[in-house]
């Protein structure tokens, strides 16, 4: 015979007290006003999870402000958090931290530590937004962090050499990071990724950085949409990575002997689509790349539109515009294991008798003179000469230096209309 179960009754008042105490232990909701008369570091040391600190206008001097509770720092009219120019300024080691509306300055230059204006160290779900970070070694640094958002920040440095400069936004061994609507100016690399996974970089503006506007390595399955990279020392470098999407980005005015719109090295299974390569020494450079789809991009007024090294194979170039480049395509191999198809070439003088929109004769984008220039740069002085034009025509009929099978079988007769994706800085 089964015994009836007895119900344990907890009085409502006791249950209510238990719930209140539990909620306070998990997340308190204090809103605290801080003025320049307060010692910011001492106040933050007393913080509890869930506290929101409203920092009033003024200057607050700190010696590495450490945040180890889940709190919010919200600036009113951009108060200044001034570091000691020797250490980091703000170090976050707690989840669910929000830093907004501050001017952060004075992260010290160091050759042993990556001192940053704001560093997130092994933390998650943090938000760094609407801040002004000026005159720091590193701007924002994330290490072993996850699911964080970095948006609407202005990050600027003034150093003149790479050795004395850190990166604007630096991620190491992190995942699920969103970097959006930031301006990064004057750092070593604007945005730097190493061992980063499943992250989104969208609508950022990276200009006048000493080395790369964007530099990432060993960072798989990330997406780069609608960013602008202008006048950076060596352009953008993407290395040792797979499953990348780069769409709607602008790579502009990256000039120099070793400058690129984008350098791709040892990449696989990537999509390069609807990007704008304009006025770069090399628009797109591929070395050791395979299964890269390059489609619906504009290559306009570059030195070389595309440099395709011999160890890059099984790549697909379709529906791109090549307009007014000094040289559209260059390769260092007599054979090509890549496909060019249905691109528009402004230098193609072909004809279209059947009016199907494609030239009736295949087009060879690699010119003999481009090969000569690559081997002997001094020959550039003969650019646009009649003799060079005759050499190029002869080479197109009987190839000797250029690859026999690098041909666009169906070159377009008209420029392709490529939608210009709407980005905050892409105007």
Mean pLDDT of 234-246: 95
State the Cα–Cα distance between residues 325 and 139, nearest whole angstrom: 36
* Local confidence band at 72 (pLDDT 50, 70, 90 cut-offs): very high
Helices vs strands, H then E, count in the chain: 4, 38
- Residues 269-282 pLDDT 10s: 999 999 999 999 99
Alpha-carbon distance 233 to 84, whole Å?
Answer: 30
* Whether pLDDT at 84 is above 70: yes
Comparing CA positions, the residue from 375, 376, 368 lying closest to residue 394 is 368
Strand ranges (DSSP E) for 314-369?
A: 316-318, 321-323, 327-331, 339-341, 344-345
pLDDT tens, 375-395? 545 444 445 544 445 555 554
What does the mean pLDDT of the chain come to? 86
The pLDDT value given to residue 94? 97
pLDDT at 374: 53
Categorize the per-residue pLDDT at 112 as very low, low, confident or very high, splitting at 50, 70 and 90: confident
Closest CA to 170 of 141, 190, 148: 141
**pLDDT recorded at residue 101:** 97
What pLDDT was estimated at residue 390? 54
Instruction: Please tell me the predicted confidence (pLDDT) of residue 281.
Output: 92
pLDDT tens digits for range 178-191: 999 999 999 999 99
Cα separation values, 33 from 63, 69, 80, 101, Å: 21, 17, 15, 14
Closest CA to 180 of 405, 1, 424: 424
222 closest CA partner among 198, 257, 190: 198
Nearest to 169 by CA among 161, 159, 196, 160: 196
Query: Taking the alpha carbons of 110, 115, 121, 125 in that order, is the dihedral positive or negative?
Result: negative
Q: What are phi and psi of 320, to 5 degrees?
A: -105, 155
Q: Check if the beta carbon of residue 174 is closer than 8 Å to that of residue 123.
A: no
Q: How many CB atoms lie within 10 A of CB 59?
A: 11
pLDDT of residue 340: 96
Q: How far apart are the first and last CA of the chain?
A: 81
The least confident of 152-156, 259-263, 405-409, 411-415 is 405-409
CA distance 365 to 306: 10
Mean pLDDT of 353-372: 78
Q: Of all residues in the chain, what percent carry a pLDDT higher than 70?
A: 83
Going 306 to 310 to 316 to 319, the CA torsion angle's sign is positive
For residue 298, is pLDDT > 90?
Answer: yes
Which of 122-126, 290-294, 423-427 has the lowest average pLDDT? 423-427
pTM of the predicted protein model: 0.85
**305: closest CA among 321, 292, 287?**
321
Q: How confident is the model at residue 130 (pLDDT cuts 50, 70, 90)?
A: very high
User: What mean pLDDT do residues 54-78 have?
Assistant: 96
* Residue 30 confidence class, pLDDT cut points 50, 70, 90: confident
The whole-number pLDDT of residue 389 equals 56
How far apart are alpha carbons 425 and 152 in whole angstroms?
Answer: 12
Q: Indicate the pLDDT class of residue 26, thresholds 50, 70 and 90.
A: very low
* Token digits of residue 87: 């250490």
Give the per-residue pLDDT at 164: 85
pLDDT at residue 261 is higher than 80: yes
- CA 264/CA 252 separation, integer angstroms: 16
Distances (CA, A) of 188 to 25, 105, 139: 43, 17, 11
């Amino acid at each position: 015979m089964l015994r009836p179960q007895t119900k344990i009754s907890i009085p409502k008042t006791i249950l209510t007290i238990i719930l209140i105490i539990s909620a306070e232990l998990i997340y308190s909701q204090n809103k605290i006003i801080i003025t320049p008369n307060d010692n910011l570091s001492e106040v933050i040391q007393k913080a509890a999870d869930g506290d929101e600190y409203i920092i009033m206008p003024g200057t607050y001097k700190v010696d590495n402000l450490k945040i180890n509770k889940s709190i919010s720092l919200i600036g009113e009219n951009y108060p200044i958090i001034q570091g000691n120019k020797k250490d980091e300024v703000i170090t976050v080691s707690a989840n669910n931290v929000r830093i907004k509306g501050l001017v952060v300055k004075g992260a010290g230059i160091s050759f042993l530590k990556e001192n940053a204006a704001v560093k997130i160290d092994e933390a998650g779900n943090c938000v760094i937004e609407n801040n002004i970070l000026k005159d720091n070694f590193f701007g924002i640094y994330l290490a072993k962090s996850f699911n964080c958002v970095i948006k609407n920040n202005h990050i600027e440095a003034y150093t003149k050499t790479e050795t004395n400069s850190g990166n604007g936004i630096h991620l190491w061994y992190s995942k699920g990071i969103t970097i959006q609507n930031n301006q990064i100016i004057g750092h070593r690399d604007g945005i730097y990724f190493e061992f980063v996974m499943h992250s989104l970089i969208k609508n950022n503006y990276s200009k006048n950085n000493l080395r790369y506007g964007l530099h990432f390595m060993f960072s798989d399955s990330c997406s780069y949409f609608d960013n602008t990279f202008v006048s950076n020392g060596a352009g953008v470098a993407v290395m040792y990575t797979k499953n990348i999407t780069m769409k709607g980005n602008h790579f502009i005015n990256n000039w120099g002997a070793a400058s690129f719109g984008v350098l791709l090295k040892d990449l696989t299974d990537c999509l390069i689509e609807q990007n704008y390569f304009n006025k770069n020494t090399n628009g797109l450079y591929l070395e050791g790349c395979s299964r890269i789809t390059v489609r619906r991009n504009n290559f306009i007024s570059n030195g070389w539109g595309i440099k395709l090294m011999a160890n890059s194979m099984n790549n697909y170039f379709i529906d791109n515009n090549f307009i007014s480049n000094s040289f559209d395509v260059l390769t260092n191999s007599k054979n090509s294991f890549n496909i060019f198809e249905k691109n528009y070439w402004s230098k193609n003088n072909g004809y279209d008798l059947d009016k199907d929109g494609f030239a009736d004769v295949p087009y060879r984008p690699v010119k003999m003179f481009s090969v000569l220039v690559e081997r002997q740069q001094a020959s550039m002085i003969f650019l646009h000469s009649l003799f060079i034009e005759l050499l190029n025509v002869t080479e197109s009929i009987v190839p000797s230096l250029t690859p026999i099978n690098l041909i666009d079988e169906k070159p377009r007769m008209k420029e392709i209309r490529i939608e210009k994706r709407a980005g905050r800085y892409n105007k």
